[in-house]
Structure 1
């Protein structure tokens, strides 16, 4: 049985991201990650997300990305429904 790690609490993420830029010149990200008890790759990802959310770097914010995923999912469902209706109308003709 595979055990997946549990998601880190939002508070831990926010604290690690808040500390990282301030200490970046003093300590490398790997040390900050170790102090926060998270993987270096996780902290790097959180920093990238924070940069996009704070408009430091271009990208799509998480809230917008979630809405876009939901819209695409709804569009696929509507297209499938339309295809079913087209086939039913063709078979009745």
Structure 2
């Protein structure tokens, strides 16, 4: 997997496309990146700036990842509590 480009590079590439002097393909070629990569950066920049509503912004993606991580942790904790409750319930039922 190629190394990620720094955010400053991405922002500058997006700015170059938005200037409108060159098409996306020309800017991508000048920067030695793929056209699809640059188009993804443009779409993400639009979402981050609130220009589109059909794509999650970077902050929303980060929040979603945190919520999914928390949900997984809570599911594990819940499973542990269920097993503990079953263990102690069985202990009370068995003759001594």
2:44 alignment partner in structure 1 = 49
Does 2:84 align with 1:88?
yes
Give the drift of 1:27. Answer: 2.6
Match of 2:72 in 1: 76
Q: What SS is found at the alignment partner of 1:55?
A: coil
- Cα deviation for residue 69 of structure 1 reads 1.1
Q: Tell me how large the CA RMSD over aligned residues is.
A: 1.2
The aligned counterpart of 1:34 is: 29
Deviation per CA, 1:4-40, whole angstroms, max 9, x where unpaired? 21111222111110010212xx432111101122111
The runs of at least 4 consecutive aligned structure 1 residues that moved more than 6 Å come to none
Gaps of 5+ in 2: 90-96
- Number of aligned positions between the proteins: 88
Please give the TM-score of this superposition, normalised by the length of structure 1: 0.85
| Greater C-alpha Rg | 2
